[in-house]
Amino acid sequence: MNTPNGPENFDWTAAEADVAEVVDLNAERTRRTAEASGTHFEHTLDEAPQRGGQLVDPPAADPSGRRPIVPANWSTWPNIRHSLAQGAQLTGYRAGFHAVRAPWYAAQASFWASVGAFRLIGRQLKWWWVSEQYGLRQAAADANDPAMWLKLHREVKATRMWRGIVLAAEAVTVCFGAPVLYAVAPMWALVLTTALLVAFLAHLGRPQDRRIITPATVSGRFRRVNPDIILRAYYAAGLGHPDKPHQQIGFGSTMARDTSGTGSQVSIDLPYGKTFDDAVKARGAIASGLDVAVSQVFITRDPSSHRRHTLWVADRDPLAQGAGRTPLLRCKATDIWQPAPFGLDERGNKVAVDLMWNSILIGAQPRQGKTFAARALALYAALDPYVKLTVLDGGGKPDWRKFALVADRCAFGLAMTRDGDPAEIVLEALREIKADVQDRYERLSKLPVDVCPEGKLTREIARDPKYKMPVRAVFLDEFQEYFDLGDISKEIASLLVYLVKVAPAAGVMFVDATQRPSGVGGGQVATQFISFRDNHQVRFSLRTGSWNVSDLVLGAGANSEGYDSSTLLPSYKGVGILRGASDATPTVRTYLADADDAEKILIAARKMREQAGTLSGMAAGEDIAREHRDVLADVRAVIERGETGAQWEEIAARLAERLPEAYADVTAESISAQIRAHGVRSVDVKRSGKALKGAKADDIDAAIARRKAA
């Protein structure tokens, strides 16, 4: 129910007018004082309610400050009917809940009533014996005061006599009254009396922590935050002192509830010399002082002053519940020029991410939802039939396989497939994208101003087939694998660094995910890895192992600003810190799209592309096989990582299995002859204790290097 003082009916204009009137009176009082004394005084800023928040105790809607005599939920006939319906529904639910459990309640009550009967008898015997006087008589005996002892003894005898008579009368009443009541009383009276007696005895007999009747509904419990509690927390955290001059904590705004009603917020002014960084470091101590969990306390920087920040305290852990299924399940066409729905922030507000003109880095520990987060953005791009997709998964997980339905180019894992060597597919895809980017810049610069007013790709140009410049989206998962493939990684790394720096402005966006943001190996490729990682404008970090790794994903300085993804709980799946997407840095619970959801969305996306005539590349069945065979590269590709070499029979079998279109009829002798023609020796290779002729991986690498040098 929304009362007249509720958030929906709160009159901000009236509230601001009331506050303004107070400020005017204070200013007038200050002016008169200054005129009388010839001195100058500064008056405090007004406490007008901040937009976006609700006052904890908002003023009454009536300007007089009077609350309505009849509550709003009983003031009109529709409200009365609604209130009665709600009450009847709740009562019916509770009645059904307890009716089902009534036999169990009766069994428990009977057991605890028997215990209560013995306890009642014990209490009455203790009362009759006046055991509470024992200490007084013992004290008199210890003090060697026989007169006092005799006096107490006579009093206890008289008291026992009187209480004994009372108990005897009680026993006679029970022994004779119970049969009489049973004989003459109607059945309803017997049942009522028995029920009351059993309830009374069960109440006496049950332990304090054992309830017989469990509540049908449980009200949420959360700590109500008020200014006194906040001051206590900040002082306990060592951020100020209430009794020292210039060391008091101040409030920069009215204490307010957020619009969602899920927490309280207030602007805090720290003492001079204390900084936002001090508050961030003391976040755990502040949470302890507020008597809430650390996950309920959020501290946000205030750009107006380094000693001011906004404190938001959630009623309950806002990250413990998921954001729900992705809205993309509607399978409606999307527009890549509009922000993509990503999830909900800690306050339950929707969070969207602009894919256009951005490159996005996603990092996390394994099994924290990194791939799901990247895939959610890829599904949004897939539902725009005018976006050309490239999906490259270095991990080879099944999460991305269904994107073959819509992707112009895709590669999964590093093992040889019927489509060819995934590493070479990646290299060819990146070469093609680089050439396209360079061509786009040249053509955009030549377009007339009325078509391309800023020299940049526009929505109209991207969707007009005659320009052949569709928006392109490249998704790389576990991209660190492409930096650790030997010689081929040098060119891949160089292309990735170039594209992440230059391509977004040409309408080619990147979304890149990794579980190893710290880098790979050493040398030039390692340097390029760092350059590639650091050239992402938007960063999303799910749970990481330490604040150092969190800073690698979120960018340098994130921890000093209070953003550390290592503090996220392991149970938070799909929860991370989003930095760079907007002025705010929210903690986001990403929408869920599991494998079945992704398949449903991608099937719909393929139909849209078929209808729009934009299905291309591998998704359209185009043959992207290499125009000529590179026998050295092919043989080197079938020698698995960790093997020093392979026998000719193994090489022939692997080539026939993985590249049947080129090597279906290859034999051990023929492949040996082709490789030896490139100067590779045929040497003994041991396998399962048996040595047969084959080729060493080092010899093949040396032959490839000689060919490149030539």
3-state secondary structure 526-575: HHHHHHHHHCCCEEEEECCCCHHHHHHHHCCCCHHHCCCHHHCCCCCCCE
pLDDT value, residue 535: 95
Does position 684 have pLDDT exceeding 80, yes or no?
yes
Decide if 492 contacts 479 (C-beta within 8 A): no
> In the chain, what percentage of residues exceed pLDDT 90?
52
Instruction: Tell me the one-letter amino acid at 302.
Output: D
CA distance 684 to 690: 9
Q: Is the pLDDT of residue 262 over 90?
A: no
* Average pLDDT of the segment spanning 663-685: 85
The reported pLDDT for the residue numbered 219 is: 60
Confidence bin at 597 (pLDDT 50/70/90): very high
DSSP classification of residue 633: H
DSSP 672-706: HHHHHTTT---EEEEETTEEEEEEEHHHHHHHHHH
- pLDDT reported for residue 14: 39
Integer Cα distance of 115 and 205 in angstroms:
5
Q: Is the pLDDT of residue 555 over 60?
A: yes
Residue 661 confidence (pLDDT): 65
Q: Taking the C-alpha atoms of 519, 525, 531 and 532 in order, what is their torsion angle to the nearest 10 degrees?
A: -80
CA nearest to 476, candidates 381, 424, 411? 411
Q: What is the CA radius of gyration of the chain?
A: 39
User: Whose CA is closest to 265, among 309, 228, 221, 316?
Assistant: 309
Whole-number pLDDT of residue 64: 58
Q: Tell me, what's the pLDDT at 15?
A: 39
Q: 509, 572, 122: which is closest to 337 by C-alpha?
A: 509
CA–CA distance, 207 with 568 (Å, rounded to integer)? 39
Helix (H) or strand (E) holding 670: helix 668-676
Q: 710 pLDDT band (50/70/90 cuts)?
A: low
pLDDT of 623: 59
Given a cut of 50, whether residue 552 has pLDDT beyond it is yes
Lowest-confidence region among 38-47, 85-94, 137-146, 411-420: 38-47
SS3 per-residue string spanning 204-236: HHCCCCCCCCCCCCCCCCCCCCCHHHHHHHHHH
Position 55 pLDDT exceeds 90: no
Residue 32 — very low, low, confident or very high, per pLDDT cuts 50/70/90? very low
More confident residue, 626 or 659: 659
Helix, strand, coil fractions of the chain, as percent rounded to 5: 50, 15, 35
pLDDT beyond 50 at 285: yes
Kindly state the percentage of the chain with pLDDT values over 70. 88
CA proximity to 274, closest of 300, 309, 228, 231:
309
* SS3 assignment, position 389: strand
Torsions phi, psi of 691, nearest 5? -100, 125
Tallying the residues shown for the chain, one arrives at 710
* Mean pLDDT, residues 552-561: 89
pLDDT of residue 283 exceeding 50, the answer is yes
Query: What mean pLDDT do residues 337-364 have?
Result: 94
Task: Report pLDDT digits (tens) over 191-240.
Answer: 999 999 999 999 999 988 888 888 887 665 566 788 889 999 999 999 99
pLDDT tier at 63, thresholds 50, 70, 90: low
Beta pairing partners, 417: 420
Average pLDDT over residues 692-697: 91
Domain boundaries, the chain: 7-75, 78-205, 227-313, 328-620, 631-709
Tokens of 10: 């709160």
Top mean-pLDDT range of 224-238, 395-409, 633-647:
395-409
- Strands of 645-647's sheet, edge to edge? 645-647, 690-696, 683-687
CATH 3.40.50.300 given to domain 328-620:
yes
The arithmetic mean of pLDDT across residues 553-575, rounded, is 89
Domain over 631-709 is classified CATH 1.10.10? yes
CA distance 295 to 707: 59
| pLDDT classification of 629: cutoffs 50, 70, 90 | low
Q: How far is CA 511 from CA 339, 496, 659, 680, in A?
A: 14, 12, 31, 41
Q: How confident is the model at residue 257 (pLDDT cuts 50, 70, 90)?
A: confident
Is 70 exceeded by the pLDDT of residue 497? yes
- Buried b / exposed e across 187-197, counting CB within 10 Å, b at 16+? eeeeeeeeeee
- Helix (H, G, I), strand (E, B), or coil: what is residue 432? helix
Nearest partner of 342 among 390, 297, 379, judged by Cα: 379
The pLDDT tens digits for 503-534 are 999 999 999 999 999 988 778 899 999 999 99
- Its pTM stands at 0.64
CATH of 227-313, one of 3.30.530.20, 3.40.50.300, 3.30.980.40, 3.40.50.720: 3.30.980.40
Mean pLDDT, all residues of the chain: 85
Residue 417, CA distances (Å) to 4, 62, 219, 396, 658 in order:
68, 75, 57, 11, 5
